[in-house]
Structure 1
Amino acid sequence: MLAKDRDELAVYYCVDDLPGAHIPATRLNGVLERLQQGLPLSKIALNYLEKQGLIALLRHATGGSTSDKFHQDAKVEQARRKQEAEALRVAKEQERQERETARQAQMKLAQEKAKVARQALERDPKYIAKIRNQQLRARYDLDWFIEKDCFAPLMDILRRIDAGKRLSEKNVLWLSTDGEEYFSDSLRTAYHQIEAEFYNTQFNKNHDIWMAVNASSHYRKCGKANVADVLLKSVDIEAKKSPKLRSAFFTTHGGVKRDLGFKEKAIRLGEKAHGLMNKDFRPCTLIGAVYMETGNYILGQQWYEKAVERGATERAIDSELRSIFMRADSASQKAMQAHLLQVDPERYRWTRNLSAKR
């Protein structure tokens, strides 16, 4: 039987308000189909009609009413069912609304309690200090677990840095030893920025070129080589006779030129510094680094060896080499790795691990 036919059948027998009348294979639909075909209903089917309150349909099925009487009674039953169904729907909707109103009231109460608790917490000095500490650590990329013994000295350092104050020698020593893992790039940059500004101020006050050298060194370490270059260009170094000062100046300026990508100028300044203080390892380290960066590994290695002979540590040299290696592109890394492994495969085995991670 088609759906249209089932719907028409349900309307005819005044049960179109009951879902089962429209669905095939349901008990009510089966009863209607048998009645339509003039077939008798089983006792089970008759009991079903009685339980469902379909009394008019029951009488009609058992011959107890005429067609007109059936339709008259059936329509009354249907009207009553619809009224009861509507009353039930209204009652359920009212109950739903009452539950929703109660839920909203509970939620509002919970929110108000939470607000009061939050406001009380936000006035708590301990909580305020905790939040400020978290925000301060986050600014310097240290929003992770801090060892209990390290918390106090670290927070003292962060507060000083955040206020633009210089660190004490004790602070710097701690960051270089016990607190080394907390010396983040952000903190390091901020530290060098403050130091650079301090020495620059000192230079402007007394025109001590050593202050300009120190300021430039710190400017380099906080990514402001261009500021250092402008500062050093303003210095009349040729008027100074001290070989040590001139060498330190040329070495620092060479480092600045190296950072800015002027490699040849960096080498020339390094050579001038070395000519003035040929026992100082710093010019040698500068020249060695520039040669390494430009792919002249043999000369770079030779200058690094000179630096070690003059007091530079192999650890410092290796640290510089790692930095150069990590900044290099893939082709340069392969060439540098081949050279270093040929020089000392054990000492420079780290090139294999670092190139594999790239």
Structure 2
Amino acid sequence: MDNSDLQKNHFTALKHKYKVGQYNSGVSDSFLYLILRKADQGIQVTNLEFQWLIENRLVGTVEIISLEQYQAEDKKRLEAEFWQLRTNYNIPKQLELPMSSPVYSILGKLDAGYSLTDSELNLLNNHGLVDTITLIQDILYFSQLKSNYKATNNLNHFPEEPLYSILKKLDVKAQLSDSDADWLLDNDFEETLEIHWQQEDERKAELEFSELKSKYQIDAHPDTSISSPLYSLLRKLDSELELEPSECEWLKQQNLSELIAIDRERKDRRFFAELKNKYKATQYQSSDPSSRLFLILRILEISESKTSNPSGESKVLIDSEKDIQWLSEQGLVETVDIAKQIHFKALKTKYQIVGQLTLDPFYEIMLKLEREERLDPKQVIQLIEEGRLARHGKIAVAYYRLEAIFCEKEHQRTGNKWNLPSASSNWRKADEPEKALKVTENVNWNKVQESDLKSALWVTRGAAFRDINQLDEAENCATQARECHPDSHQPYTLMGAICYDRGEYADGDNWFELAAERGADDTDDEIERIVRMTKDKDKRREVAEYLLSKDSNRYKWANSYIK
């Protein structure tokens, strides 16, 4: 085969290789052949030749030749890129690395944004690339800082100044300079700047926390974080705000009783001011909660609100008279009037008085009872007869109790045995029949010479037995009394009452008639008392019906016990 045929075959092969399809053949074949031969030999095709190929619609050929020429230059580009990686990642110039070295692969992977494995880092370390590893650590740290501090709009892979230095300051919560803050603002790092301001606020709070601990002398407490409840509690205290019960409980658990005391004193001072205003004591200058006035006003408040417990109420009643005297000495006239009304109300509650009751004379009466002083018997009897004082109410009972105690003491002082039946009688009226019996249980009857005295002792003892429903013992005492003094009406009255208690009404009437014959003028009162004191409703109704059947006019009061 001659050269001409070989040339044609070569041209055909080149056209196939470079995908030359239909085009305007002719004189230009030799030029196309020239271009294809240059491309096949790796000789640079000129722009003029590329332009000719495009004009002849050989775009596919252009793409293939361009790719081949790019590939032919790729090694140089790789060398340049590897050199740039060496430069960027601090590879020493004197270190020779073949292009096949895995170091370039590792750096390329890192440069593409991928994380390195421990084995890859070890390989770099084995090559002695200390500076490179340090830079990689800085890159990773920079990336983490940008994520943590909202600076990801910075796209630089390598630590960039001053951003890197600023972020490192933020990471250790170091204070930024004004120029640092200005740089963040000027470069659109608003979120990063916001974190800086948050840190500034925290730094100020931590300083404030430390100063507050020092101010309130609790530096030894281990809490230093502003997230500790202690910080918020100290701020409340410093703002003179009241602590909640749960907050005081937390302080108690922390053994910070001194802070609880501060809060308690401030609450007391505010409460003291409120009480002084409420109880008209504002002219009293001191606001110290330890003052006696505060204690008195608190007692008044508890008493008025009816929230005191039994022990607290007892203290009010014991101390109030002295407290009122102290208020008077301080010139607190309006407060004295209020205190008297509250004290009077408390005493009425103690003595179970319901309804209206005038301050005079009952306040003074109850004060005397509180002082264990005897009342004027005439006054008590008059109030009972006027219906202003209940015969068996608490005041009357207290009066009878004091009278009983007085009679016992008089007997001890003088030896006068007439005080014994008086004491026993008053104990019975005070609803304490056991004490009435005790008064007469040690009487030496043989030494009692006066028949009327002996009879009185037996009568009052029998009446006490009747009070506790020991009717046989009561009857025996009545018999003894009648034998001692048969002309006295009292033993007969007692027997009448005993019979009524037993339901022996006719016998009881006989005894009452015998009592009346001996001068008793209160048998009807005694009968009414029997009915009134009968606890069994059916029994009480039975007695009332008997009396009405006997004389409905004389005993018309019995109707009230049938309803």
Q: 1:353 to 1:142 in 2, by over 3 A?
A: closer
Divergent runs of 4+, >4 A:
110-116
- Map residues 102-113 of structure 1 onto 2, 5 A cutoff: none
User: Would the aligned equivalents of 1:175 and 1:183 in 2 still touch at CA under 8 Å?
Assistant: no
Q: What's the counterpart of residue 188 of structure 1?
A: 396
1:154 to 326, 340, 362: 362
Distance 1:215 1:163 in 2: 20
Q: What's the counterpart of residue 23 of structure 1?
A: none
The answer to whether the aligner puts 1:302 opposite 2:510 as a matched pair is yes
Q: What's the counterpart of residue 139 of structure 1?
A: 350
Distance 1:230 1:238 in 2: 18
2:449 to 225, 233, 241: 241
Q: What's the counterpart of residue 319 of structure 1?
A: 525
The answer to whether the aligner puts 1:216 opposite 2:376 as a matched pair is no
- Map residues 198-213 of structure 1 onto 2, 5 A cutoff: 198-213=406-421
Q: 1:211 to 1:111 in 2, by over 3 A?
A: closer
Secondary structure in 2 matching 1:218: helix
Cα offset for 1:194?
Answer: 0.6
Amino acid in structure 1 at the alignment position of 2:446: E
User: Would the aligned equivalents of 1:209 and 1:235 in 2 still touch at CA under 8 Å?
Assistant: no
Amino acid in structure 2 at the alignment position of 1:329: D
- For the pair shown, the structure with the greater C-alpha radius of gyration is 2
Q: What's the counterpart of residue 553 of structure 2?
A: 346
Amino acid in structure 1 at the alignment position of 2:280: A
Distance 1:343 1:119 in 2: 61
Distance 1:169 1:298 in 2: 36
> Normalized against structure 1, the TM-score is what?
0.61
User: Would the aligned equivalents of 1:134 and 1:143 in 2 still touch at CA under 8 Å?
Assistant: no
Q: Note the aligned Cα RMSD (angstroms).
A: 2.7
The answer to whether the aligner puts 1:176 opposite 2:176 as a matched pair is no
Secondary structure in 1 matching 2:487: coil
Cα offset for 1:350?
Answer: 3.0
Q: 1:345 to 1:130 in 2, by over 3 A?
A: closer
Amino acid in structure 2 at the alignment position of 1:145: Q
Amino acid in structure 1 at the alignment position of 2:350: R
The answer to whether the aligner puts 1:120 opposite 2:326 as a matched pair is no
Amino acid in structure 1 at the alignment position of 2:411: F
Q: What's the counterpart of residue 134 of structure 2?
A: none
Distance 2:278 2:535 in 1: 51
Distance 1:249 1:111 in 2: 59
The answer to whether the aligner puts 1:232 opposite 2:428 as a matched pair is no
Secondary structure in 1 matching 2:412: helix
Distance 1:131 1:282 in 2: 45
Cα offset for 1:112?
Answer: 9.6
What does the per-residue CA deviation read over 1:260-301, in whole Å, with 9 as the maximum and x for residues that have no partner? 221112112112212222222211111100110011111101
Secondary structure in 2 matching 1:209: coil
Distance 2:536 2:277 in 1: 55
What does the per-residue CA deviation read over 1:163-192, in whole Å, with 9 as the maximum and x for residues that have no partner? 101112442343233464455611111111
Distance 2:390 2:541 in 1: 32
What does the per-residue CA deviation read over 1:230-269, in whole Å, with 9 as the maximum and x for residues that have no partner? 2211110222221111111111111111112211121121
Percent identity of the aligned residues? 24
What does the per-residue CA deviation read over 1:190-231, in whole Å, with 9 as the maximum and x for residues that have no partner? 111111111111222333221111111111111211122122
1:337 to 544, 549, 552: 544
Unpaired runs of 5+ residues, structure 1, are 1-109
Distance 1:301 1:127 in 2: 55
Q: 1:132 to 1:143 in 2, by over 3 A?
A: farther
Residues matched between the structures, number? 244
> Normalized against structure 2, the TM-score is what?
0.40
Distance 2:556 2:279 in 1: 58
Amino acid in structure 2 at the alignment position of 1:127: I
